[in-house]
Amino acid sequence: MRAVHYLNQFFAGLGGEEAAMSAPARLDGAVGPGRGLGLEIAATLACGDDYFALNEDAAVAQLLAWIAELAPDVLVCGPAFGSGRYGYACGVVAREAGRLGVPVVAGMYPENPGVLAAEGSAFIVPTSVGVSGMRDALARMGPLARRIGEGEQLGSAEDEGYLASHQRRNEVAAATGAERAIEMVLAKLAGETTTEVAPEPADVPPPAPVDASGVLFALVSEAGCVPQGNPDRLPHHRASTWLRYSLDGVRTLSAEGYETVHGGFDQTAANLDPNRLVPLDAVRALEDEGRIGRLHPFLYTTTGNGTATATAARLGQEIAHDLQQSGVEAVLLTGT
């Protein structure tokens, strides 16, 4: 079984922060933590954390080319512990290798941004936040990687101790949906309620109203409102991202300047007057009258159409985080 290991500059022995701009390097055999995995490591690939962050496309292209050439049975990334830059690089490399069909095992602290960056492509072993958990992490990553590299089908995240990807993947059930529904309804009538979907997300209580005079105020919308021509290609349904456009010096959303790309309603009336999607005209008037403090100079926009509740929650959290960073205290959220 052939393994390839990915490390950052520090763990690969290239140097500390002063070597963080190291370009991707290919080293023979196991290096550093790789020696503790108990695997036959054909090569160790390394990249400086800052180099990766600043030259992601180039770094990924080089690393992927080596991975394709080495054709490993399994790729091991990290462990990156709580390190954000290292973890992110591990996550991206894992995701891209996964798309090539290479099985990946990584090690990270569960809140490392690399976990999300991997987009479910890696079996991620949860580690401590600091390197003190190295021995434990390697002892769990090595055997897991060996089994995966040998083609074994792993059990559930819970049974095997890797982080659940939370991705809902298709499987072929033993019975049709109809057959399962009839059994489920009979069981429920007999007092045994089961379900096949993730539990309903908890309701978030709405915040108390604020006195808007004097506060920094922002406009947020899921109406798919974008500058004419949709320069960033916001999708008309199932958006997984949000966008931010400057409102600096913009008094009104003119039909010449803005449009909606939302695919869930008839766009005709909205495109005649995009202020009806995002009421910038009215908010500017309130600002002039002093009834709100000041308008945050960005429009936050996405398409809320066919979006899963979990995705919508993530978009909301990301937007809220950005608003908080900017000191925004009140938001007008328009829906369609």
Partner 1 sequence: VKRPPLELTTVRVREIAEGADTRWQGDGVLQIDPDALAALARAGGDEVTVSVEIVRPGDAVRLVHVLDAVEPSAKPEAPETTFPGITGEIAAAGIGRTVRLDGVAVLALADLDATHPEAMRERQLDGDGVIDMDGPAAFCTPWSGTVNVVLTFHANPEVELTAIDRAIRWGTLAVARTLALAAADAEPDEIDVIDLPAVSDTLPAVCVILQVASEGPLVDTYLYGRPMEGTVPTLLDPRELLDGALVNGAFDWAAIRNPTYFYQRSGLILGLLREHGTRLRFAGVVIALAYLSSATEKARAAMQSVVLAQQLGADAAIVTAFSSGNSHTDVMLAVRACERAGIRTVALLCETNGGLTDHVAEADAIISVGNEDELAPGWAPERVVGGRMLRAGWEASEGTALPFRSYLGANSQLGDTRLRAAVA
Contacts with partner 1 by CB under 8 A lie at 120, 156-157, 164-182, 184-186, 188-189, 193-198, 200-201, 237-238, 240, 263-264, 305-311
* Residue (13 or 306) nearer to partner 1, CB: 306
Distance CA 93, CA 44 (A): 13
Of 44 and 307, which CB lies nearer to partner 1 in the complex structure? 307
**Burial (0-12, 13-18, 19+ Cβ within 10 Å), 231:** exposed
Residue 155 Cβ vs partner 1, minimum distance, rounded to whole Å: 12
Entry field: residues in the chain: 336
Q: Give the shortest CB-322-to-partner 1 separation in angstroms.
A: 20
User: Smallest distance, Å, CB 257 to partner 1?
Assistant: 23
CB of 312 to partner 1, least distance (A): 8
Are 36 and 61 in contact, with CB atoms under 8 Å apart?
Answer: no
User: Are 147 and 103 a contacting pair, CB within 8 Å?
Assistant: no
Q: Which is nearer to partner 1, 218 or 315 (CB)?
A: 315
Angle at 95 between CA 89 and CA 101, to 5 degrees: 135
Write down the least CB distance from residue 172 to partner 1, Å. Answer: 5
The closest of 11, 281, 287 to 127, measured between CA atoms, is 11
Question: Which is closer to partner 1, CB of 282 or CB of 310?
Answer: 310
Decide whether 108 or 239 has the Cβ nearer to partner 1.
239
CA–CA dist 311, 237 (Å, integer): 12
